[in-house]
Structure formats: structure tokens, C-alpha cells
């Protein structure tokens, strides 16, 4: 079922999960971006952890920082429980309350602070992955590519049109995909030889263990805010180290459909987050969560099935083209083209359309909601209207995105 390989046993992983995700505010006011719900039942971090688990990589350190409590709780109560035998590890961080308070000063600095775990391991390779992207990947294929090239570092690369490449860090490569240069957000990005596309960094790395220890120890002498993109990769280029780009489009997982190849979402803004969620309710979404050969794992919880109640002419519980999680009750109301997280209840005579409801949202009677994101534990009173009148929504203190999505935040502190 899973992509088991010896390289998985010879690899430890470090997942960077400390990002604030400021552009996802107000959803990230009380949680780190990797802890934000996606697809109703999942957290964003479940995607990278599932990729590692399905790839047979069972020693994983999760480096948390900003608003870490809910993320640590999720990992402890799900991944920490049923992966078994203490195979998964979480590095507990101090809870960061001040917006200005710093702990990790850069992506490489975060690894540096936990370098003792790398130094005391018998791993040949270290996989350093971000915890805040939506994708599926067999990581053993990237490690094998790293081995084949006798690389010091291999960087996962997304092949993007030249017109979009300026939003990313872009690699210059030769005909063998060996990296010859790296530029952050270039005005005129360099294309892949023989193509009209560019290689953009996904922020995921495979290091040979000895080289990682060496370069981080050297880098800390020069940079307090040691970062892979700003410092480590340029240092390695200057030293003539073997750096290769791994084309994510070449990665194939069991059960993958053609249209899913190369699927990778940053979901870094409220609009991109909304669009990626809404794609899931299409008849054939690009991201297939029903591929049981490469499951996305999470804390299932001990919840009853979802149900609809009432079948009267004036009130009928109906879910149409929607993604409804366990414990939900659609009571004499209509939910259309929406995602309902666990334990939601929509009461009679109400209409919810094109919306995302986080866990334990209650929608009162005679309420209309469209194109909205409702945060966890929010109670929408009877006779409410959301998404129909911009000025009224702003007066209620809701956030409205560029495309008109209304975000209803939690009120608790």
C-alpha cells in the first residue's frame, strides 16, 4: 500500500511548522498556518506528514513555534497516538504570544537549533520539508534521485510558466538539472534549457547528513538569521557543492490520476485557500482525497455519522454537491456547494451556499450564508444574513477578501 524503501529507513525528516501565515488572518490569529483546517476534517500539516508516512519515513521532528498549542495538540492526539512505538516525534516549542517575539530567526536556523537530533542519528539523509502546503508526493523518489546524482542537496522544484515565476525563488539549471544559480523573485527569470518554463523552489530539501551538519555549522558563523534560500543555497553554490533540482512533475504516487500530477497549492491567501477548498467539491477535483492507495491521514475522532433530518414541504434537510464531515446535522435546511467540518449544525429554514464551515459551527434558523468562511465554534444567530450585503458584513466586523469572500472569525480570546 505504501512506498516502502530502504531509503525511508535511512532518512529522518524535519518539518518546518512555525509559520504565522499572516495573509490567512483572521484564521491564523489563534493558530499557526499548518494548523488551519483544510477539506473539513484535515489540517494543512496532515498533507506533509501523510506524504512522509506513506513514503516509509517514520522518524519525523516537527518544529513548531507561533501559536503552537493547537498544532501540538493535534499532533499529540493523532499522529503521536497511532503511528506507534514513538516513531513520530514533535519538538515542543515555547508558545509565542508577542507578534514581534522571535525564536527561529530563519528556516535554516530552526534546523540548526535541533541539529543535535541529526548529529546523533544514524541517518544518511535528512528531508527538510515545509508544513504548510497542499500536495501529495512520494518522497522516496526524490531521495533516490538525490542518491543517483550523488548530490549534496536536492531541492524540490515546481515547473511554472515564465509569467508566474517572479513570485518564487527560481533556479538556473544545466541540461542535467544541476543548479547553477538561484535568484529570489527575479524580474526576468531564467527558463529551463529547451523549455519555456522555469524551476521554482518548493522549499523542500533532501540533504546528505554530513553536508547538512557541515554547512549549517559554517553558516551560523556568518548569519544569525540563517535561511536556506537567502544564505545556505548561495553558500553551497559558491563552494561548488553538488546541487540538483528535482522536478515535482516527475513524481508519481500509487493511484494518481493524470490531472493530479504536479498538484501543489500554497494556500497562502484567503482567496487561494477558499479556491483550493472549493475545488474539492467538484465532480472530479484535481486533488483526489478518495485515493486509498495514498491516503491523507488525520485524527478521525469518535464522532457519529453525518445526517439530514426533516422531509416536509416547508423544511427539508438537504446536502447538495457538498463535503460533509462526521457529526454534522443538516436540520430542515439546504447546504449547497459547501464544506462542513466536523460537528456542524445548520438549523431549519436556513440556506448555506458556496461556503466553508470549520469545526463545530452552528447556523441558526432562517439564516442565509453565501461565499463565506466561518471559523471554528462560531454560532450564527437566527435570522442572520452573511455574504449578501458588503456594508452590513463590514459593520459586523467580518473580513472581506479581494474576491468578496466573507470571513467570520472566532470571538473567544
Query: CB-based contacts of 280: which residues, under 8 Å, 6+ apart?
Result: 39, 287, 289, 323, 339
Judge whether 84 and 56 are in contact, CB under 8 Å.
no
CB count within 10 Å of CB 391 equals 7
Phi-psi region of 348 (alpha: psi -120 to 50; beta: other; left: phi over 0): beta
Judge whether 373 and 269 are in contact, CB under 8 Å.
no
Q: Which helix (H) or strand (E) holds 73?
A: helix 69-77
Consult the annotation and say whether 55 binds a ligand: no
**In sequence order, what DSSP letters do the residues of 325-352 get, joined into one string?**
-TT-EEES-EEES-EE-TT-EE-TT-EE
Q: By CB neighbour count within 10 A (0-12 exposed, 13-18 middle, 19+ buried), where does 402 fall?
A: exposed
Q: Max CA-CA distance within the chain? A: 74
DSSP, res 232? I
Work out the end-to-end distance of the chain between its first and last CA atoms, rounded to an integer number of angstroms.
43
Consult the annotation and say whether 331 binds a ligand: no
Consult the annotation and say whether 169 binds a ligand: yes
Per DSSP (E only), the strands in 93-212 are 125-130, 134-135, 153-161, 169-173, 179-184, 197-208
Consult the annotation and say whether 201 binds a ligand: yes
Cell of 310: 426533516
Bridge partners, residue 352, by sequence: 335, 369
Instruction: Return binding residues for alpha-D-glucose 1-phosphate.
Output: 169, 184-185, 201
Instruction: Return binding residues.
Output: 169, 184-185, 201
Amino acid at each position: 500500500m505504501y512506498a516502502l524503501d530502504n531509503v525511508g529507513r535511512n532518512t529522518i525528516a524535519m518539518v518546518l511548522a512555525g509559520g504565522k501565515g499572516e495573509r490567512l488572518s483572521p484564521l491564523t490569529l489563534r493558530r499557526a498556518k499548518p494548523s488551519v483546517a483544510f477539506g473539513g476534517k484535515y489540517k494543512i500539516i496532515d498533507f506533509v506528514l501523510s506524504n512522509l508516512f506513506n513514503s516509509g519515513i517514520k522518524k519525523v521532528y516537527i518544529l513548531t513555534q507561533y501559536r503552537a498549542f493547537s498544532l501540538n495538540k493535534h499532533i499529540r492526539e493523532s499522529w503521536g497516538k497511532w503511528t506507534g512505538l514513538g516513531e513520530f516525534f514533535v519538538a515542543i516549542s515555547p508558545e509565542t504570544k508577542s507578534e514581534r517575539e522571535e525564536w527561529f530567526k530563519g528556516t535554516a536556523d530552526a534546523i540548526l537549533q535541533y541539529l543535535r537530533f541529526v548529529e546523533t542519528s544514524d541517518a544518511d539523509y535528512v528531508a527538510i520539508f515545509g508544513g504548510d502546503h497542499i500536495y501529495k508526493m512520494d518522497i522516496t523518489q526524490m531521495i533516490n534521485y538525490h542518491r543517483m546524482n550523488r548530490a549534496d542537496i536536492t531541492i524540490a522544484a515546481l515547473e511554472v510558466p515564465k509569467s508566474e515565476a517572479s513570485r518564487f525563488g527560481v533556479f538556473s539549471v544545466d541540461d542535467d538539472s544541476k543548479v547553477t544559480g538561484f535568484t529570489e523573485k527575479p524580474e526576468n527569470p531564467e527558463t529551463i534549457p529547451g523549455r519555456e518554463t522555469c524551476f521554482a523552489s518548493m522549499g523542500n530539501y533532501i540533504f546528505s547528513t554530513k553536508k547538512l551538519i557541515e554547512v549549517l555549522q559554517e553558516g551560523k558563523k556568518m548569519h544569525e538569521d540563517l535561511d536556506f534560500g537567502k544564505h545556505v543555497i548561495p553558500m553551497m553554490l559558491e563552494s561548488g557543492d553538488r546541487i540538483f533540482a528535482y522536478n515535482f512533475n516527475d513524481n508519481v504516487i500509487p493511484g494518481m490520476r493524470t490531472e493530479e500530477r504536479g498538484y501543489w497549492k500554497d494556500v497562502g491567501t484567503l482567496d487561494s485557500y477558499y479556491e483550493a477548498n472549493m475545488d474539492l467539491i467538484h465532480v472530479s477535483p484535481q486533488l483526489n482525497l478518495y485515493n486509498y492507495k495514498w491516503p491523507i491521514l488525520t485524527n478521525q475522532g469518535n464522532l457519529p455519522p453525518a445526517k439530514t433530518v426533516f422531509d416536509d414541504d416547508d423544511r427539508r434537510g438537504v446536502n447538495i454537491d457538498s463535503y460533509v464531515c462526521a457529526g454534522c446535522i443538516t436540520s430542515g435546511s439546504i447546504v449547497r456547494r459547501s464544506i462542513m467540518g466536523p460537528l456542524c449544525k445548520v438549523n431549519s429554514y436556513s440556506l448555506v451556499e458556496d461556503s466553508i464551515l470549520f469545526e463545530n459551527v452552528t447556523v441558526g434558523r432562517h439564516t442565509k450564508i453565501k461565499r463565506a468562511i466561518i471559523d471554528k465554534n462560531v454560532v450564527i444567530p437566527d435570522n442572520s444574513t452573511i455574504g449578501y450585503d458588503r456594508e452590513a458584513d463590514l459593520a459586523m466586523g467580518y473580513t472581506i477578501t479581494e474576491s468578496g469572500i466573507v470571513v467570520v472569525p472566532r470571538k473567544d480570546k
